[in-house]
Amino acid sequence: MTTVLDALDRALLAAGGHQRGEVAAPACVLWPDPTGEWREAAAALRGRRTLLTLGAYAPETRTGPAIWIRSVVDVQPLSQEPVIVYLPGLGLDALRGEAAAEAVRPLVDLQFRGALFLGARKRPWSVASFFRDFKDLKIEVAESARPALVAHLGALLDQPVNDLRTRAPLTLPTLSRLAFPDLPGQFLSWLSGGGPPVPSALAAAFAAEYGVDPAGGVPEGAVTLAARQGALAGVWERFAASPEGYPGVRAALEAAGPASGGAWTAEEARVWPQVNRAAEESLRRDLHALRDEPAAVVRERLLALEREHADRRTGVWARLGETPLANAVEQLARLAVSSAGTLSGDTVTQLGQAYASGGFRADQAALGALASVQSDADLDLVGAVLRVPYLEWLTRVNDRFCAAALSAPNLSTPTSSAWTPAPGLAVVFVDGLRFDVAASLAEHLGSLQPELGWQMSALPTVTPTAKPAVAPVGGALEVLSADKLSLSYLGRAVNAAVLRDLLTGRGFTAIRSPAGGDPAGAVWLETGNLDSLGHSQGAGLAGLLPAEVRKLGSRIQALLDAGFTEVRVITDHGWLLLPGGLPKAELLGASTVFKKGRCAVLKGVNASAYPSVPWTWDPDVNVTLAPGVHSFEAGEVYTHGGLSLQECILPVLTVRGQGKAEAVTFTSVRWTGNRCRVQVTGGGGLTVDLRRRAADAASSVLTAPKSVGAEGHVSLLVEGDDMDGTAAVLVALRGDQVVRQQPLTVGDNA
């Protein structure tokens, strides 16, 4: 691949060529350059050839006056390649005998002892003539581009000759692209930086490629960019794809664009930040006007607003987070569609299946709308708009669900309670994982092909009742207090610790993190804090859910990475979340012995007009429920405990890994001095470490974990004697996950 610099190099060598044995070798090759346009090329050739340059003395660049050049040439052996003497600003006339200036006279006779690098008609090569006429180039340059050829020479020198020939004739835009391969980025950087002065070559490139004269300043550049015509359409796409890299462009557009008024168009809003802001304000006013409208009117208007503002979500201002209400209206429109219909079925099972098959998307859209905005004012506004159609739908579908449940001869209970332990099984419990959030988790884990099913919750849907009912404890619990709806196990009030002990007895090892589990057995892992966040944050929970879903996904992946072959995610209850609060149902506290937002145990018989259901753990105990989607507490935005699809249809998310779980066991641990010899079983790919704290890799007392050999042997050396008698933990790792751990004392074989 011959470049322009290669061709120039060969041309200079050819100029100094001679027939050995017939003529004397030239003392040098004189390279006259009357206009100095070859300076960049001469500098590039210094690394290849012995090249002297006429000028002020600068030995580091082999530059000096004529007398110095003459002295160097005179001592150069003629057997070597001739020295190239570059003469910037000097033509042939300047070397003509007595006409030569005093400063260059030492060079006069070199034109006779050496060779001249000349083009056609014995004239010094210009850059343009060299491109056009030199036999190894023959590259045509457009007349209008010839003045710019010198300015772009530095970039052209490294271009392959064949590539340039395919682009010929070289035009000014072509030269600009060759000289400035990232011209769009340079233009955006110039605009973002406030329009600093640029080299003349770059200014010419801006003018040729984009029609922008930097002398006109940033306003002219911003207006031209906003027009997105010709090559600037691609520059705009570059900016729109990564506006964070050019923060000043937004300010330039803001300053140069039209005044922010009431009227706006979608096309203007995509380009001008102030017009997009006006569109957001317009949407804010339109949404505010819907706060007290009937559900049907709200749904119809939301669909119209979605059509009006959808295009703004695809622009640069959406990427910069400046279209929160346009983002919210997309979800509000989805809510409008999904809440307009109903669910098919007449029984609890049929309605539950309809909800799990797609009915949950109304809940998902409501949360998505709330999550789209950041400010408290916008959160209140979006909540007020969605409240009317969402509450109407919640009431309608749950009135049917409650009627079906209350008329059923009996209700099913969670099937997960009967699960049995198996090698490689991890049961993950997430408090308050509502079905629509579990569906989002399933989408997040899409590459793992998760399966999303459902089961019916225990009643009432409060944690002390519902969590023990979904845990695989096999029905070993007893009633502790019917009035307080509390349970016991062997006389101990059931809490998280008691439940973990019971699960361990059933064969499910309770672990606190994926690193603490052994895939040779079954484990129980509690994670996530959705219910706690819901009670504390109310409608603000929606904005926190995406991060919580990602955390749950990471936990599931960590379990699979640790060697578990099946992960089942369950929960105890869902919840209702309604901005502005659920409608209140009056229930005097004096008439109850137990009261929550959505359920209560009354003194004596249920004398209220509200529905009641048998307590799952004792059918002789009647639990009074808040009707429909009401609450016994005023202003409750987030609550649970009642009988609704959102509270009772519990997700069961199953993710399966690959391969068979193998038991990892330390079959032998033996100290010999400071060296610990360990025998490990449980498959390949394991490493072993010795740590002060099992889950903390930084607490290792080794220089690095050691890989287990093919026969299961590994030898660990603890350097120094000061560790003898120190408590430590021997850990086996698969990747970064701890899959087996064993406490020991350094140096002790007891």
43 and 185 in one domain? no
Would 724 be classed as within a structural domain? yes
Mean pLDDT over 472-494 rounds to 90
- Given a cut of 70, whether residue 344 has pLDDT beyond it is yes
The C-alpha atoms of residue 147 and residue 37 are separated, in whole angstroms, by: 11
Amino acid 538: pLDDT: 97
436 and 559 in one domain? yes
- Given a cut of 60, whether residue 19 has pLDDT beyond it is no
Would 528 be classed as within a structural domain? yes
pLDDT digits (tens, 9 = 90+) for 185-230: 999 999 999 999 988 888 888 988 899 999 989 999 999 999 999 9
Domain boundary (348, 375, 407) is at 407
Question: How many folded domains does the chain comprise?
Answer: 5
Tokens 């349970």 belong to which residue?
Answer: 487
Peptide bond into 169 cis (omega under 30): yes
Amino acid 21: pLDDT: 53
Would 261 be classed as within a structural domain? no
270 and 236 in one domain? no
Would 158 be classed as within a structural domain? no
445 and 341 in one domain? no
The C-alpha atoms of residue 228 and residue 143 are separated, in whole angstroms, by: 28
Average pLDDT, the chain: 91
Would 145 be classed as within a structural domain? no
Task: Report which of residues 382 and 736 the model is more confident about.
Answer: 382
The values of phi and psi at residue 388, to 5°, are: -65, -55
432 and 381 in one domain? no
What tokens does 651 get? 């997700």
Amino acid 80: pLDDT: 72
- Given a cut of 70, whether residue 750 has pLDDT beyond it is no
627 and 523 in one domain? yes
Query: Which amino acid, 425?
Result: L
Count, residues in the chain: 750
Amino acid 565: pLDDT: 93
The C-alpha atoms of residue 475 and residue 720 are separated, in whole angstroms, by: 54
E strands in 34-82: 51-54, 63-64
**Taking the alpha carbons of 386, 389, 395, 396 in that order, is the dihedral positive or negative?**
negative
Looking at residue 703, which CATH number applies to its domain?
2.60.40
The 3-class secondary structure across 249-291, one letter per residue, is HHHHHHHHCCCCCCCCCHHHHHHCHHHHHHHHHHHHHHHHCCC
Paired with 569 in beta bridges are 428, 653
Mean pLDDT over 429-451 rounds to 96
Paired with 32 in beta bridges are 87
User: Which letter does DSSP use for residue 134 in this model?
Assistant: -
- Given a cut of 90, whether residue 332 has pLDDT beyond it is yes
Would 625 be classed as within a structural domain? yes
Domain boundary (628, 661, 694) is at 661
Would 174 be classed as within a structural domain? no
Domain boundary (661, 678, 693) is at 661
Mean pLDDT over 442-465 rounds to 96
The C-alpha atoms of residue 741 and residue 678 are separated, in whole angstroms, by: 13
**Taking the alpha carbons of 589, 592, 595, 600 in that order, is the dihedral positive or negative?**
negative
Would 171 be classed as within a structural domain? no
Residue 427, Cβ density class (10 Å: 0-12 exposed, 13-18 middle, ≥19 buried): buried
The C-alpha atoms of residue 92 and residue 620 are separated, in whole angstroms, by: 117
Confidence of residue 262 (pLDDT cuts 50, 70, 90): low
What is the residue range of 340's domain?
A: 266-407
514 and 440 in one domain? yes
Amino acid 67: pLDDT: 94
- The model carries a pTM of 0.76
- Given a cut of 70, whether residue 616 has pLDDT beyond it is yes
Amino acid 285: pLDDT: 96
> What Å distances lie between residue 549 and 295, 443, 542, CA to CA?
31, 10, 11
Which of 233, 316, 237, 309 minimizes the C-alpha distance to 278?
309
> Vertex 91, ends 85 and 93: CA angle to 5°?
120
321 and 198 in one domain? no
User: Which letter does DSSP use for residue 37 in this model?
Assistant: T
CA neighbours within 13 Å on the CB side: how many for 7? 23
Given the DSSP bridges, would you call strands 566-570 and 522-527 parallel, antiparallel or unpaired? Answer: unpaired
Which of 477, 486, 470, 464 minimizes the C-alpha distance to 505?
477
125 and 46 in one domain? yes
pLDDT digits (tens, 9 = 90+) for 676-728: 999 998 767 789 999 988 878 888 999 889 999 888 899 999 887 788 888 89
504 and 446 in one domain? yes
Which residues 6+ apart lie within 8 Å of 687 measured at CB? 705, 706, 707, 708, 732, 733
- 194 close to 218: Cβ distance less than 8 angstroms: yes
pLDDT digits (tens, 9 = 90+) for 43-102: 999 988 899 999 999 999 999 999 999 999 998 886 678 899 999 999 988 888 777 898
Amino acid 23: pLDDT: 67
The region of weakest confidence among 419-433, 605-619, 733-747 is: 733-747
528 and 391 in one domain? no
- Given a cut of 90, whether residue 663 has pLDDT beyond it is no
- Given a cut of 60, whether residue 673 has pLDDT beyond it is yes
What tokens does 132 get? 């056009």
The C-alpha atoms of residue 35 and residue 149 are separated, in whole angstroms, by: 13
pLDDT digits (tens, 9 = 90+) for 159-183: 999 989 998 999 888 888 888 889 9
Confidence of residue 20 (pLDDT cuts 50, 70, 90): low
The C-alpha atoms of residue 275 and residue 742 are separated, in whole angstroms, by: 65
Number of other CB atoms surrounding residue 95 within 10 Å: 22
- 77 close to 27: Cβ distance less than 8 angstroms: no
Given the DSSP bridges, would you call strands 508-511 and 522-527 parallel, antiparallel or unpaired? Answer: parallel
The C-alpha atoms of residue 517 and residue 559 are separated, in whole angstroms, by: 8
Looking at residue 480, which CATH number applies to its domain?
3.40.720
The C-alpha atoms of residue 455 and residue 463 are separated, in whole angstroms, by: 16
113 and 12 in one domain? yes
